[in-house]
Amino acid sequence: MKYLDEFRDPGAAGALVARIRRTAARIQGEAKIMEICGSHTVAIFRSGIKSLLPGNVILVSGPGCPVCVTAMPDMDRMIAIPGKGEGRNPIVATFGDMVRVPGSFSSLERQKAEGADIRVAASPLDSLQWARENPEREVVFLGVGFETTSPTIAAVVRKAAELALKNFSVYPAFKLLPPALEALLDSPDGALDGFLCPGHVSVMLGSDAYAPYAEKYGRPCVISGFESLDILLGISMLLDQLADKKHEVVNAYGRAVDRGGNRKAMELLLTVFEPADALWRGLGEIPRSGLLFREGYRQFDAIERFGLEEVTTGTDPEGCGCASVLRGVLSPPDCPLFDNVCTPENPVGSCMVSSEGSCAAWHKYGRTGI
């Protein structure tokens, strides 16, 4: 068992597609399914799955791209960091996709061109190492991500506390998935019939986390992995439920996800951070959908350390459709800026920047087979 090729077998894919077609024929009208996770969006485009689906099965992308949902005020405050730190040129450490996202007055990429020390980290552990190697300089990690990623950053903050590092901090722009799911379900845009739930967020949360939503809103939730067979199985299991008018949580990624999730990681996350209201691009302010430092760890809060609350922040660019794209109500090609004013080379909105953004995915993989 290598946990890869076994889940890419073309023969099994054909069988799953046949099953999907048969079940879809039993459903009256459209089945509108949201894949919440940006990594699913990319995997779906890359594998060409959309071209294999029957016409009444519609996949829409959701708000699960952490870079895309980072709100403009957070972007602006992060981009302001290199100008802070009393001339000590702070090192800004970040996952790569954040570098090119435009703020309202600059971007990290432009700051870098002007001399700022912006470094791409493969792991938050890298930033800790840079802080230890550069004791005379501040190192700030840009904390974006859902429950998959935020516990890794909590682990690094705890390590920094153990090492009593004085020059390390994190900008907390994390997002929590369940409150966003609830906001989508409460929204009048709604009209979603089911959710393909993110496999790796679910590793942390556990499958039981979705039960209240499936029950309260009467929508099936199926947790899926990221190989092509995982995704086809997830779609097939959602259609099974829609055809039978069921709304249960089904785990199609049993090898990685259990009911209770990774309790150790979630406990650590909630030791370092606590839930707080958060602003999302597209979805607006959602109660208790973000994380801020808890008492005892606030010395690592980059917002306080650099006085970032004082930064003048802007609003989303005029005409940019990201807000509607992230709620699944606008398909990227229908945005007036798509592929003319806004391209990956010269992006206007975050959904065109991140490799997991739906606009970037549409640009790269086009309408082939849609």
Partner 1 sequence: MCIAVPGRIVEIDDINMATVDFGGTTRVASADLVPGLSVGDYVLVHAGFIINRLDEEEAQETLKLFDQYLGLLEEEDDEISG
| HEC readout, 93-147 | EECHHHCCCCCCCCCHHHHHHCCCEEEECCCHHHHHHHHHHCCCCCEEEEECCCC
Q: 55-66 burial, b for 16+ CB within 10 Å, e for fewer?
A: eebbbbbbbbbb
- CA dist., res. 308 & res. 297, Å (int): 18
**Distances in whole angstroms, Cα of residue 235 to Cα of each of 43, 128, 181:** 13, 40, 18
Q: Which of 76, 97, 138, 301 binds partner 1 (CB under 8 A)?
A: 97
DSSP annotation string for 149-163:
THHHHHHHHHHHHHT
Instruction: Output the smallest distance, CB 238 to partner 1, in A.
Output: 15
Six-digit token pair at 127? 């930033």
Q: Residue 322's CB: how many other CB atoms inside 10 A?
A: 29
> 70, 241, 354, 358: which one contacts partner 1 (CB under 8 A)?
354
Q: Is 12 in the site for partner 1 (CB under 8 A)?
A: yes
CB of 6 to partner 1, least distance (A): 6
**Which of 141, 226, 297, 300 forms a contact with partner 1 (CB under 8 A)?**
226
Query: Strand 57-64 and strand 91-94: pairing?
Result: unpaired
Q: Which is nearer to partner 1, 254 or 333 (CB)?
A: 254
Among residues 155, 250, 325, 348, the one that binds partner 1 under rule CB under 8 A: 155
User: Per rule CB under 8 A, is residue 264 in the interface with partner 1?
Assistant: yes
Burial environment of residue 178 by CB neighbours within 10 A (0 to 12, 13 to 18, 19 or more): middle
Q: Does 6 bind partner 1 (CB under 8 A)?
A: yes
User: Of residues 52, 94, 95, 103, which one binds partner 1 by CB under 8 A?
Assistant: 95
Cβ-count burial 127-164 (b if 16+ within 10 Å, e if not): bbebbeeeeeebbbbbbbbbbbbbbebbbbbeebeeee
Q: Under a CB-based contact definition with an 8 Å cutoff, are residues 253 and 198 in contact?
A: no
User: What part of residues 333-352 is at the interface with partner 1 (CB under 8 A)?
Assistant: none
Member of 31, 33, 34, 37 binding partner 1 (CB under 8 A): 37
Strands (E), 227-293: 249-251, 273-280, 284-293
Structure-token pair, residue 176: 């929590």
Among 23, 24, 34, 39, binds partner 1 (CB under 8 A): 39
Verify binding: residue 201, partner 1, rule CB under 8 A. Answer: yes
Least gap, CB of 253 to partner 1 (angstroms) = 8
Residues in the interface with partner 1 (CB under 8 A) total: 56
- Residue range at the interface with partner 1 (CB under 8 A); choices 141-149, 167-175, 298-306, 329-337: 141-149
Comparing CB distances to partner 1, the nearer of 144 and 335 is 144
| Least spacing, CB of residue 334 vs partner 1, in Å | 25
Q: Which of 204, 320 has the CB closer to partner 1? A: 204
Tokens of 325: 């794209």
Give residues in contact with partner 1 (CB under 8 A).
1-4, 6-7, 9, 11-12, 14-16, 18-19, 37-39, 64-67, 95, 97, 122-126, 144-146, 148-149, 151-152, 155, 198-201, 203-204, 226, 229, 233, 252, 254-256, 258, 262, 264-265, 268, 354, 356
